[in-house]
Structure 1
Amino acid sequence: MALARAWLVDPEVLFLDEPTAALDPAAIQAVEAAVRDFHRRGTRILMTTHDLQQARRLADDIVLLFGGRLVEHSPAERFFADPQSPEGRAFIRGELVW
């Protein structure tokens, strides 16, 4: 519903916090399609996700936060190919970092 409301006002920036959490695969596809459409229309998207595959599908840039601090910021392609921080490398490997 929030995405439908945002569609009407054509925002410059859209903030999304885990927008597909607890959704079934069909609903995830619909939300991701809407996010892509917003992006194509020029809306800047800032989205949090723990889903690496979703980040691969949607992100232009990655900002990795760990322990309340920014540990890495890079283009998504570079982040997924060669993360520069130890936390980024561990996250890509699927390790739990505390």
Structure 2
Amino acid sequence: MSQDKQLTPPTANISMWLLLLDIVGMALVVFAGYEIYLINEKNSGVLVEHFSWPHYPWIIMGIGVLLMIPFHKQVFSLFRQVKQYQKELAKKNRPDF
């Protein structure tokens, strides 16, 4: 019988490097948002004198989001594994009539 096999729960193997990248990405997104606020409300910014293109905060924000993607892919993959484990466990524990 194939139902006698032992199910093992998925392990959380989240990479610390990807978590660090996620934190850096979040910091870049927050910084870019603050920079957009300064440019629009106060007509100045932290990096305005270094960049002549007025839309540079959007590039910084995009880079921040790109840095956050690998960590979130790993978390969503783990979520799918847990859902699959729960489905198999429910199938295994279902009574036979």
Which TM-score bucket, shorter chain as reference? under 0.3
**With structure 2 as the length reference, what TM-score do the two structures score?**
0.22
Please tell me whether Structure 1 or Structure 2 has the larger radius of gyration of its CA atoms: 2
Q: Which has the larger strand fraction?
A: 1
Q: Which has the larger helix fraction?
A: 2
Higher relative contact order (CA 8 A, sep 6+): 2
